[in-house]
Chains A and B, each alone.
Chain A
Amino acid sequence: MSRNAQAFEEPILEVQAALEGLKAQPENPRTTKEIQKLEQKLAKLQRDIYANLTDWQRCLVARHPNRPYTRDYVEQLFVDFEELHGDRRFADDPAIMAGFARFRGQTVAIIGHQKGRDMKAKLYRNFGMPRPEGYRKAMRIMQLAEKFRRPIICMIDTPGAYPGIDAEERGQAEAIAYNLWAMARLKVPIAVIVIGEGGSGGALALGVGDHIAMLENSVYSVISPEGCASILWKDASQMEQAAEALHLTSRKLLKLGLIDSIIEEPLGGAHQDPVEMAKRVGDHIAAWLQDSFGVSDSERVALRYQKFRAMGIYSEVG
């Protein structure tokens, strides 16, 4: 477990290890008391560490190897999930998964970036970096949802669209652009949830929705802190400063009016309690679905337009 930990998590893991050791021992009044004490200590430690994370550390939490991925939420929240593959033009892209499922009695379309857990899966999923066929598959499923009038739930978790020769040849830019254009026109309700990394245009291509939520420790940015540092600081190791400057955390983005809500994470981050995290995401989706009833199609499309239309901060002279 500790090999997946970030440096700032070490104190938490030490206490967790001590707790596990105590719990393995036969029960007696002394150990029970000790366990209670350690549990309190653990909670305080997690609160303190997570309340004071730097923006860069939050990027590391968002990229945490144990963080729940789209598939984890699908498994916990939806029933009868049927994955649908392929863009009907070139290939199936495992960096995006898409399909239909039942959510608390209602059929929904679910589309999300998918990362891999072990090295083999990481390679298979291309580290969650889609190629054009991934975006085109996503749009195909969205258009199915539109045709059969099912709400769409998009989960964002990508370092970015894949920068490769083949991706450029097949129109990475066009694939992303088309999704932005087409999502703005869909009449069905669209919820967007940033569950981990929101990496630039490759994230936004699933991100034009009616309600945009971010998990507390997820990030959403125009460029990675490393990329920004290497360009604007001429030094990729300045990513801590770049992360701070980019305003990529959920709280900062909420203040800038770019997202609508934050889903709080369990103590110590989503990876400490994926079951509780999924429950909170589920409650969020349920509340959103409830709100989306009673809004007419034309009203919904108009509101979505106004939402994005209002984004941006500039001044006006004269």
Chain B
Amino acid sequence: MTWFIKKSEPIKVQKEKTVIVPEGMWQKCPSCREIIYRKELVRNDNVCPKCDYHFRIDPKERYDSLFDDSRYTYLHTSVRSTDPLTFKGLKKYRDQVKSLEKRGLEHDAVHVARGAVGGIDTIIAVMDFNYLGGSMGSAVGEKITRAIETGLEDRVPVIIFSCSGGARMMEGALSLMQMAKISAALARLSDAGVPFISVLTDPTTGGVTASYAMLGDINIAEPKALIGFAGPRVIQQTIKQELPEGFQRSEFLLQHGMLDAIVSRSEMKQKLVRYLTFLAPVTD
């Protein structure tokens, strides 16, 4: 009960938002290919008014809309990626990390913050696709593990918004092992009876899906998000067949029993508060 501090104030969802969709007046929807007026997109929570596709949004934008009064504190910001393997593909990994930090992406591919959500003290990690496709390396693994351990110590529920192509190749098996590290931390959180809610957003694939994203007490997704273990291209190359319509989208996963619900952005906060309330420890 220590983490459950319900205030009676109504849930406010922030309406003012900064947008990260590319420059220009118009934006093409990747799902229905309709051309949408950008102002209309912004007004609509960055959700396509034609087909309900949820555009990727910045972690800050999510925090502003989820935390009460848009007030929250960042946690575990000191953790940074290094280049443990001196990895060099067509680009040097070290240079990629440096230039991302220069662009102000100092949170690596995951942000961690804490604040009240509907009056409930909550830790929310949000992955950032702009940072190397939201890939999970050692720094991401460490930040998420620390977020879970903080949740465990303070008995504060943890929510993770996944958005990732999977493990970060440039750190080799170090990235792979983050799957085990985070899953082990979640096992401890679970044993302590502290809730974990996983929110899958477009896209969530590979080692992220095959670890924490599927381990929520409650797993939910935004509409039409690509969610899977193997990427659709890899599957297509393997089986050499066309993939069925809607394959590996949120609706497909719900139908196959992998999700508890699909939740649109406009209802996200309200639903999360409800889930957190359902999962709060029973008081005597």
Contact = CB atoms under 8 A, between A and B. Distances in A.
B177 A312 contact: yes
Nearest to A309: B181
A233 B167 CA distance: 17
A180 B190 CA distance: 14
A304 B180 CA distance: 11
Nearest to A171: B258
B187 interface: yes
A222 B207 contact: yes
A220 interface: yes
A316 B80 contact: yes
Contacts of B227: 173
Contact of B257 (A171, A314, A317): A171
A167 interface: yes
B90 A232 contact: yes
A25 interface: no
B229 A173 contact: yes
Given A164-B238, A168-B228, A171-B256, A316 B78 contact: yes
Interface string A299-318: 00000110011011111111
Interface stretch (B25-33, B136-144, B262-270, B273-281): B136-144
B71 interface: no
Contacts of A185: 187, 191
A201 B169 contact: no
A311 B248 contact: no
Interface stretch (B3-11, B45-53, B59-67, B211-219): B211-219
Contacts of A213: none
Contacts of B130: none
B239 A165 contact: yes
Interface in B190-208: 190-191, 206-207
A92 to B, nearest CB: 20
A270 interface: no
B82 interface: yes
Contacts of B210: 161, 172-173, 176-177, 180, 201, 205
A62 to B, nearest CB: 14
A169 interface: yes
B23 to A, nearest CB: 27
B181 A173 contact: no
A233 B78 CA distance: 31
Given A201-B179, A222-B169, A245-B88, A184 B184 contact: yes
A256 interface: yes
Contact of B229 (A178, A201, A233): A201
Interface in A167-213: 167-174, 176-178, 180-182, 184-185, 200-201, 204-205, 207-208
Interface string B240-253: 01011001100010
Contact of B183 (A170, A181, A245): A181
Given A232-B89, A314-B79, A177 B176 contact: no
B164 interface: no
Given A182-B187, A220-B173, 13 more contacts: A168-B230, A180-B180, A184-B180, A201-B167, A201-B206, A233-B89, A242-B89, A246-B169, A253-B173, A305-B184, A309-B181, A313-B138, A314-B79
